[in-house]
Amino acid sequence: MPDRIVTPFTAASTAADVVDGVDLTGRRAIVTGGASGLGIETARALATAGAEVTLAVRDLAAGAAVADDLIATTGNKYIHVAHLELADRAEVAAFVAGWDGPLHILVNNAGVMAAPLSRTPDGWESQFATNHLGHFALATGLHPALAQAGGARVVSVSSSAHLGSAVIFEDINFERRAYEPWAAYGQSKTANVLFAVEAARRWADDGIAVNALHPGGIRTKLQRHVSEEELEAARKAAGSKAVWRTPEQGAATSVLLAASPLVEGATGHYFEDCNEAEPNVPGSRTGVAAYATDPEAASRLWELSSR
């Protein structure tokens, strides 16, 4: 890959490693899903570097407990909590309306994985609605705040599970095909990459960088719908070298894209293991699928999501 972005960091690096020496004083950040798993460690690293961090969460009590812990452990008093239900369009709109001033960092981290079939009141399959449409509405709604910041960064947390499915535009909501939880999850994670590709193109003149990433395999509440047998099978399918990472390691690539000067100017890319991913080799579980970076699919998804 020409000009592939490579950093000194690896799969073993932690979020703390990535922000060591980085100063985010005066920067404002939002982390969705900031009350658990990767969200906590992403927020912790950003707060440690001096950013003002808002945890956008479904469970306000859990968010408040995390905020208290972050304030105590980082010494940063500027940790806020706000309610956000990504599958509810009205709630996303209310969150956006409640934001005031510039936004320098938006980490679209929250998500659901391999959930049983359910649909939003608008008829959207829940994983696609939460993982993609909710974050799309959030990011586009906050676009003026991101543009105001100058040099803002948007981070779209995808997954190697995107290799399991393209976005099936003809039947996104599984109305004419049998529902399969992993296919639905994979489709939503492909959508996260396509969002980064198209947002990078549309927002380049606003100085907004948008990138997607695979955080690696981490044991978090994200897997609450997945059995131990399924998790182990997925780990083995990822290759003999695949190991479970700590949340601190899993957050490293998100934090790299959110805060590191090493990726300044990078936009529209997909990263894994703290480096830009190479194209996927069919049959393998690493790299990025060609359909996930296809500009025509990215544009089509944007138009559909806007409607």
pLDDT in tens, 25-38: 999 999 999 999 99
pLDDT grade for 217, boundaries at 50, 70 and 90: confident
Q: In terms of residues, how long is the chain?
A: 307
Mean pLDDT of the chain: 93
Q: Name residues whose C-beta falls within 8 Å of residue 283's C-beta, 6 or more positions apart in sequence.
A: none
The average pLDDT across 276-303 equals 97
- In the numeric block, the tokens 């079939």 are attached to 117
Residue 251 CA to chain centroid, in angstroms?
10
The average pLDDT across 98-121 equals 96
Q: Name residues whose C-beta falls within 8 Å of residue 303's C-beta, 6 or more positions apart in sequence.
A: none
Helix (H) or strand (E) holding 105: strand 105-108
pLDDT higher than threshold 80 for residue 52: yes
Cβ distance 114 to 222 under 8 Å? no
Pairing of strands 79-83, 105-108: unpaired
pLDDT higher than threshold 80 for residue 228: no
Cα separations in angstroms, 38 against 107, 139, 232: 11, 19, 20
pLDDT grade for 233, boundaries at 50, 70 and 90: low
Which pLDDT score, from 0 to 100, does residue 3 have?
86
For residues 179 and 257, what is the distance between their CA atoms, to the nearest angstrom? Answer: 33
pLDDT grade for 229, boundaries at 50, 70 and 90: low
pLDDT higher than threshold 70 for residue 47: yes
pTM for this prediction = 0.93
Helix axes 37-48, 252-259, angle to 10 degrees: 40
Max Cα separation, the chain?
53
Which pLDDT score, from 0 to 100, does residue 244 have?
80
Higher pLDDT, 94 or 218: 94
Which pLDDT score, from 0 to 100, does residue 152 have?
98
Terminal CA-CA length for the chain: 35
The average pLDDT across 248-269 equals 98
% of the chain exceeding 90 in pLDDT? 90
Residue of 78, 185, 270, 291 with catalytic role: 185
Residue 279 identity: P
82: tokens are 């706000």
pLDDT higher than threshold 60 for residue 170: yes
Task: Assess whether 291 carries a catalytic annotation.
Answer: no
Give the closest residue to 222 by CA, choosing from 121, 115, 88: 115
Higher pLDDT, 234 or 275: 275
**3 state DSSP class of 166:** coil
Which pLDDT score, from 0 to 100, does residue 84 have?
98
Beta bridge pairs of residue 32:
56
DSSP state of 92: H
Residue 98 CA to chain centroid, in angstroms?
22
DSSP state of 125: B
Which pLDDT score, from 0 to 100, does residue 240 have?
40
pLDDT higher than threshold 50 for residue 259: yes
The average pLDDT across 97-111 equals 98
pLDDT higher than threshold 70 for residue 184: yes
**3 state DSSP class of 22:** coil
- In the numeric block, the tokens 């044991």 are attached to 219
**3 state DSSP class of 218:** strand
The average pLDDT across 164-172 equals 98
